[in-house]
Structure 1
Amino acid sequence: MKAPKRNAVQQAGFLLGMYGQFLKIYLKTLVEYRADTLIAIVAGIIAQGSTLAFLTVIFSRIPALAGWDFYELVFLFGLAAAGRALNQTFLNAPFLITGYIRYGKLDMMMVRPVGVLFQSIGYGQELNGVGQLCTGLVIMVYSALKLDMTWSYGQVGFAILALLCSALIQFAILLTISVLTFWVHEVRSLIFPVTWLYDFARYPLQIFHPVLRGLLTYVFPYAIGSFYPAAYLLHHERYEWALWGVPLVTLAVLGVALWIWSLGLRRYAGVAG
């Protein structure tokens, strides 16, 4: 049975509807496994709370860190935590691709009338990200209130865009690493250290060595989706370029990742190949 022909608008509507079905299944999972959901939320709160406790101890000794006061740092941490949790909850596919290839599931996905990557994203929602997402958003709101930040519609829109860009940048970086599975047999030893690099993006870049700042900005640009958006919202007169730079870099990084994915998928010859 051939898939029906659709124009671009119809195809977009079809994919949105299908992703809605994936989300519906995910939400049913959260409701069905209430204990697991509760544990994930509590674990997220504890994980973020431990870092906040660490920051509180640091700021009990020093009044500011690289020119950032306590609540500014908390705001940066909240934005970075929410962006990471958004990625983990909805864009966890890069961690699954190796398994799909090894156990032949990719072969089955390739004969379906929707893209393999789309299916991987649909199947990849992660329960453990829910608690961290909720906690990160609460931390952002709390610190913004303490900072007495004034929010225009444009700033609210940019904050939402920044969270989406953060999630997409992480997805693109990790997808690029996971695509190496099409050429080599084991990439998990690489993908996890690259994931852990994101932890540095929760802090002001000024406290790090220039080499690490360059790594987080130009090689693995996690800072583009965390530090710079937070810096723009707190000090937009010094980081005006972030208003256009963050979405532009996100599109560029995502475009490169999708191109490399297409190369790897064309090379794939099946589980027995």
Structure 2
Amino acid sequence: MSRFTFMLGLYRDYLANYMKTKLSYRADFWIEVLSDLMFNGLNLVFIFIVFMHTPSLGDWSEPEVVFVYGYFMIAFGLFSTFFSAWNFSERYIVKGEMDRVLTRPAHSLSQVMLENMDPPSLVGALVGLVIMISSWATLDLPFHWYDPLALIVMVLGSLCIYLGIYASLAAISFFSDAPTGLVPLIFNIQNYGRYPVEIYNHAIRFLLTWLLPFAFVGVYPASFFLGRLDQWWLAWLTPVVGIVVLSLALLFWNYGVRRYRGAGS
């Protein structure tokens, strides 16, 4: 059995167990879905409020910014579905569950991802797709045969960036079991990536592009579909940046695992 087939089987089994559990408490499942929709809805309302006071952000119109937000929701919704271990330090390091993870045959990061799947977040990704389609029609954008393929490539690149950044933050816990406080900060910074980077100063633009590349989970890849090709190469850098960020994160994670000495050490 290939490694890929083995991992697909694990995802299937974990998802089946998750659904069996949630079907026993269906109200909890739909409450989670509703809370995610309300959170994303409030962010969308905020965009509308901003445009009630200004006709544009830089040279970006309201439908264009909403389009970017739709893409942002797709990538973030998929990421939250398959990796939502926001409490990694407390659960796996402080409470010692990492010791159990390391006894399993799957890669430790994959195991953590499997144990923290959050399927209700997938609804947010579907809503993001609906927002993109609606904005696409409002802007009367041309549709090319390669656009669905380009969207898949861009979203996969954005997912790698999300996973790489948050896996790196989780890996810091291998060196210190104290809460770092970095996750809420980074979570807030990522929201800047759903707005045109031109509205920020050079320092923030550099941060969002090359240090914490959240511009590649929102505005840069979305600009390709909007026809904003003045920086088209940045849009196509999305999968490249994703591979680089995820590769570095895996190296850091594996190094942290090798340094980990167990909950009792």
User: Normalising by structure 2, what TM-score?
Assistant: 0.92
Q: 2:241 aligns with which of 249, 267, 270?
A: 249
**Structure 1: which amino acid aligns with 2:132?**
M
- Give the deviation of 1:124 after TM superposition: 0.9
**Of 242-251 and 20-29, the range deviating more from structure 2:** 20-29
Alignment of 1:8-27 (within 5 A): 10-27=2-19
Do the aligned partners of 1:174 and 1:195 also contact (CA within 8 Å) in 2?
Answer: no
Matching residue of 1:33 = 25
**Structure 1: which amino acid aligns with 2:94?**
R
Alignment of 1:166-205 (within 5 A): 166-205=158-197
Do the aligned partners of 1:172 and 1:254 also contact (CA within 8 Å) in 2?
Answer: yes
* Matched length: 265
Matching residue of 1:3 = none
- Give the deviation of 1:157 after TM superposition: 1.4
**Is the aligned partner of 1:137 residue 2:129?**
yes
Q: 1:53 aligns with which of 21, 30, 45?
A: 45
**Structure 2: which amino acid aligns with 1:162?**
M
**Is the aligned partner of 1:269 residue 2:251?**
no
- Give the deviation of 1:237 after TM superposition: 2.8
What is the rounded CA distance, in whole Å, between the counterparts of 2:99 and 2:45 in structure 1?
Answer: 47
- Give the deviation of 1:243 after TM superposition: 5.1
What's the RMSD between the two structures over aligned residues?
1.9
Do the aligned partners of 2:83 and 2:163 also contact (CA within 8 Å) in 1?
Answer: yes
Structure 1: which 5+ residue stretches go unaligned? 1-5
Do the aligned partners of 2:161 and 2:217 also contact (CA within 8 Å) in 1?
Answer: yes
Specify the SS of the correspondent of 2:198.
helix
Do the aligned partners of 2:157 and 2:240 also contact (CA within 8 Å) in 1?
Answer: no
- Give the deviation of 1:128 after TM superposition: 5.2
Matching residue of 1:237 = 229
Q: 1:81 aligns with which of 49, 73, 78?
A: 73
- Identity fraction in percent: 30
**Structure 2: which amino acid aligns with 1:254?**
L
User: Normalising by structure 1, what TM-score?
Assistant: 0.89
**Structure 1: which amino acid aligns with 2:16?**
K
What is the rounded CA distance, in whole Å, between the counterparts of 2:87 and 2:136 in structure 1?
Answer: 33
What is the rounded CA distance, in whole Å, between the counterparts of 2:99 and 2:6 in structure 1?
Answer: 22
- Give the deviation of 1:134 after TM superposition: 3.0
What is the rounded CA distance, in whole Å, between the counterparts of 2:63 and 2:256 in structure 1?
Answer: 44
